[in-house]
Chain A
Amino acid sequence: MSAMHTSKQPASKLAFNRRLTREEISSGALAKQLENLLDRNPAKTVVYVGLGTCGLASGGQKVWDRLEERKSKGEIDVVLKKTGCIGYCQQEVMVDVKKPGKPRVSFSNVDVARIDKIIDSYIKGDTLPTELVIGISESYPEGPEFQIPADWKGVKAFKDLPYFKKQKRVVLKNCGTIDPDSIDEYIARDGYKALTKVLDMTPRAVVDEIKASGLRGRGGGGFPTGSKWEFAFNQPGPQKYIVMNADEGDPGAFMDRSVLEGDPHRVIEGMAIGGFAIGANHGYIYCRAEYPLAIEKLERAIADARSYGLLGKNILGTNFEFDLTIKKGAGAFVCGEETALLASIEGKRGMPKPRPPFPAVQGAFNKPTVINNVETFANVPEIIRNGAAWFAAMGTPKSKGTKVFALTGKVKLSGLIEVPMGITLREIIFDVGGGILNDRGFKAAQIGGPSGGCLPTQCLETAIDYDSLIEAGAMMGSGGLVVMDDQTCMVDVARFFINFTRSESCGKCIPCREGIARLQEMLEKIVEAPETETGNMALERMKAVIDLRKTCELIRDTAACGLGQTAPNPILSTLRYFKEEYEAHIYDRKCPAGRCKSLLRYMVDPQACIGCGICKKKCPNAAIVGEIKHAHYIVAEKCVRCGVCFEACPKKAISCS
């Protein structure tokens, strides 16, 4: 079972060529020995390049290559380190520089020209190009106090930047700070201390600790993690499994990816603790194949943990055995549903199975199995190390701790954020996110991906936790948060998500397979161009509208799995908060936000038109008629609504409604 993946990567350079002992980790002796890896007082300048997927996509490799090139030429004498993503994805490529005696400083939007400037003026020279600096990342999110050099005018510490100020980093503590390929750096930051601690506890006590913390599943449903573990703990052995769900599939969500790429040992430690608690000696990491970098990091982390005796047989000299297998998902959204995920692990088509029996009783290969999300496992070592009470002190009465969100859409600062439960939507969007892009008006926030819903302005003060979101018609989901401005059409948004679930439904149960396709058909009718519509079609459209809510409710009430049951949420929540937009589409045949193209009408104002003929010339479909020096006219039936005439008219005589 073990060593399923033979990694093509070169072996890691480890600080020790032996199995570690419990004593040296728990006493902190090892962390102390590795303290220099924290770069508090490095002998040489250290340069960190953010090379997570977001960093690489923004051209991080070129920046890295440039640094290596100039280092090999002897121009700079520095230590180069790769890190994951700190969450400021919009500002990638991020480069941190730590000079001896200076705080670690972070540069954003770095390209080859800028890295040259950073090298020349700051690394080689001593002048900080403050215009390229985003902030001081020293001691973020935790660490000793530091002084900001007097000549660093206007440069702020991360903790004072609005984007980071309201964040609370537990899961993302190390992301973007440490080298994910270095198990030693993780150990230097108290890594694997929690695992060492549980080896002195009884499994029952570990389950109780997680229960007491109030941790709830971060994958969407919010089921209490401790209770899930307890069910599996109470099942007879000997064979049980721990499964990590890393099949992150919501559009716009990338929380799990960033954790896996930026801090893989954290989840491995969490899984091993889970294995110890429920009595499982094997774990599966179900990661989507579209995350090659995350898989690469995990493979190295697993291999390194094995060579330190933190995975495998006789972990840290005890009788505890636990090892991991990575299983790559083939790209089906439904495989995020736990029974479908298990089917996929078993090599079957990823389709959900009826529950009960629940996986905790009869899961992978019919053995008791605990399935938790990446973020859930990432919380576990912190809870064990700091105690359940510490964790339970964060958040709201029913939702403890923090939540990672992928903040995207029409927001000024997008990226990965971790905030305490109970923070309001307004704080996230306007404080952390800096408000709406181009200072437009806020319209809605879509939370929870295709299973979630759209929350309007009146929900901005909602304190975010599992229950308040469900009450408001959305759900926590895995943490996608898409901000929409006033130019967004909510019918169009609903249509987007329904299109998604239509093609991602596994096709097993009738309500989901047939019903969602009909929902999509109904929405298409609502935004269909009026002039192609006959009287009969108008009647059918009205019948469809009558069926829309009924069909949504049917699917919610009868679909086989979570994907199906929550699939109508985007429609139901927009119907609840934006009913008038539907009505405008249905009765007035207008799209108030101007997004639904086929409902747009381009018209020439005959008073303003000077008959120059430019629009007629530019129209791609010969939809404009008119004589020179006479007012022109747009034939609606032929108009393809491309907007070229609207842009081209020198007299702004063409209007769009």
Chain B
Amino acid sequence: MSMVNVTINGTKHQFEAGMTVLEACRKIGVEIPTLCHLKNLAPSGSCRICVVEVEKARTLVPSCAFPIAEGMVVRTNTERIRQARKMIVELLLANHPSDCLNCNRSLTCELQKLAMEYEAEHKPHMKAKRHHAIDASSPSLVRDPDKCIICGRCVRVCEEVQGVGAIDFTKRGFESIVLPAFNDDLADTTCVNCGQCIKVCPTGALSENFSVKDVIDALNDKDKVVVCQVAPAVRVALGESFGVDEDNVAPLLVDALHRIGFKYVFDTNFAADLTIMEEGTELITRLTTGGTLPMITSCSPGWIKFIEHFYPQMLPNLSTCKSPQQMQGAVIKAYWAKKMKIDPKNVFNVSIMPCTAKKFEAQRPEMEVDGIRDVDVVLTTREVGKLLRAFDVELKACTKTDFDNPLGESSGAGAIFGATGGVMEAALRTGYKLVTGKELDTIDIEAARGFEGVKEATVQVGDIPLSIAIASGLANARKVLDAVISGQKKYHFIEIMACPGGCLNGGGQPTHFDVEALRKRLAKIYAIDKAAKIRRSHDNESVKTLYAEFLQKPNSPVSHKYLHTHYHARPEKC
């Protein structure tokens, strides 16, 4: 690697050629502010907050987009730069609602932070403001264009990372705004509700469609038995918002939720184990009876809507299994409620998810049995944080408590559903047993792990050399599907998660896009697996009991009634 000499703020440094000025500065601890910059994506250079002085350049240059060169002299903190940044922030503030006090991103807003750092002033003579109505049409996402600073991060993530392109820049100049095509409601677009846009939004322009109030209303309703389930990825991220750095905050959260008034707190990991029994059996049936292959997982509701819009011809390849959230919901209402002699109509089923698309999934018409909705309300990890604060609950001070049974028992296989490749690994652990009658020699399947966008492997399962692929991030899903459709690749089983890295990076998780935080979450997930008493779904005693008492056996007609469904094509252009 060739090195180049660059002088930054008077000191000489050496950097690898090809870095941007921003990367070089950050490497030596010169923290340049950014608003539009997104690591790993091509620089857009639109916000100009990161401008620096480069000797001999006519104007200030955007450090995020400017490559370093031999002998370059860079200054990052002159008065000219500070004034420019301050004025840019002032220009943004002049066209921004001044409602920080009741904005959901207050204190996590990047614009607010810059405004304070650069002591931006209010400019009373700057009067005109863009105004667009709030779009709350989607059950998952809310867009408030008035808070949009048109940095374009959401547009780039939607297009480049997720391959969806539901929103884009429209109009010109001062009237420019990010909107769905033809200013359609977001609900009427190809938006898959993944919420990755929320995670990159620097302001409060994008958020989930909040449901905290619905939950509080239910908690206040004396006729309702309010229960909830907690998804595997929530427990490795919620602690970030409460300063709790434990591998697993679920035991604290169970107590917290009890304190708030949830009668029973169940574990989605239980349903993950159940999913493995159903999906593993389905895969083996397809493999042995000449069913449609490759079979593709159906746990990620963002991915489901994506395939409905863009690859409807592949719908027969989709597993018919509902997602763990919906399975858990159906089991709670059809099995547990009956067991507890509670009218399922009075059970209010809340699910706590790292995901915004789960809100959409929960209200899909398919997701009910005999007129009983599987899940009533979905809260994101961020919302449950708000809920806890609203009820004066400090996570740190809670007592570690086990999930309520019987729907609280789970295996390590269920836990790893929260990471890309986790469903695959869990399915292989059980599939191997179902086919061969023996257990896998090595339970950790490294080929399925890690943040790589597309992973491929061949795993010998008995006589079958099972060819698998794992994709996370929908642009990566496109690559895999296109290769399958063109005949370039042949797989038996594909796991697809809408969000890059899987649920641990879901659209409902705490808002930041720090890769290090993601790595931490990933490590925690595998630590939970490693520490689990049982690590295979088929060893889950409560699941066994469920089959014995209610479902009979995997893929039985009863299972199909409660745990399986079908999806339908949606227009690619709405």
Chain A residues engaging chain B, CB cutoff 8 angstroms: 332, 334, 349, 351, 353-354, 356, 501-511, 513-518, 521-522, 525, 540-541, 543-544, 547, 550-551, 554, 556-560, 565
Contacts and interface: CB of A to CB of B under 8 A. Distances in A.
A517 B174 contact: yes
B45 A540 contact: no
Contacts of B83: 554
A511 B51 CA distance: 12
Nearest to A502: B173
Contacts of A544: 125
Q: Which of B49, B80, B125, B127 has the most CB atoms of chain A within a 10 A radius of its CB?
A: B125
B168 A349 contact: yes
A521 B126 contact: yes
A569 to B, nearest CB: 14
Interface of B: 43-49, 51, 59-60, 62, 65-67, 80, 83-84, 87-88, 91-92, 94-95, 123-128, 149-150, 152, 168-169, 171-176
B128 A356 contact: no
Contacts of A505: 172-174, 176
A559 B87 CA distance: 12
A541 B125 CA distance: 7
Contact of B88 (A356, A501, A511, A565): A511
Given A354-B66, A518-B126, A556-B59, A506 B173 contact: yes
Contacts, number: 118
- A-side binding surface: helix, strand, loop or mixed? helix
A516 B149 CA distance: 16
Contacts of A351: 169
Q: 3 tightest A-B contacts by CB?
A: A507-B176, A354-B65, A354-B45
B125 A525 contact: yes
A504 B172 contact: yes
A506 B152 CA distance: 13
Nearest to A514: B91
A532 to B, nearest CB: 14
Q: Which of A334, A510, A521 has the most CB atoms of chain B within a 10 A radius of its CB?
A: A510
A507 B59 contact: no
A510 B149 contact: yes
B48 A518 contact: no
19 contacts: A503-B172, A506-B173, A506-B176, A507-B174, A507-B175, A508-B44, A510-B49, A510-B150, A513-B150, A513-B176, A514-B91, A514-B94, A521-B127, A540-B125, A543-B124, A554-B87, A556-B59, A558-B84, A559-B59
B176 A560 contact: no
Nearest to A544: B125
Nearest to A522: B125
A505 B95 CA distance: 16
Contacts of B175: 503, 507
A504 to B, nearest CB: 7
B173 A518 contact: no
A510 B68 CA distance: 24
Contacts of A550: 87
B47 A514 contact: no
B91 A515 contact: yes
Contacts of A522: 125
Nearest to B58: A565
Nearest to A501: B173
Nearest to B124: A540
B83 to A, nearest CB: 8
Contact of A518 (B84, B91, B124): B91
Q: Which of B66, B67, B127, B174 has the most CB atoms of chain A within a 10 A radius of its CB?
A: B174
Contact of A558 (B48, B95, B124): B48
Given A502-B174, A506-B173, A354 B125 contact: no
Nearest to B20: A354
A559 B94 contact: no
Contacts of B174: 502-503, 505, 507, 513-514, 516-517
B59 to A, nearest CB: 5
B48 A511 contact: yes
Nearest to A511: B48
B183 to A, nearest CB: 16
Nearest to B126: A518
Q: Which of A513, A556, A559 has the most CB atoms of chain B within a 10 A radius of its CB?
A: A513
A504 B88 contact: no
Contacts of A515: 91
Given A354-B65, A502-B173, A558-B88, A510 B124 contact: no
B123 A514 contact: no
Contacts of B62: 354, 560
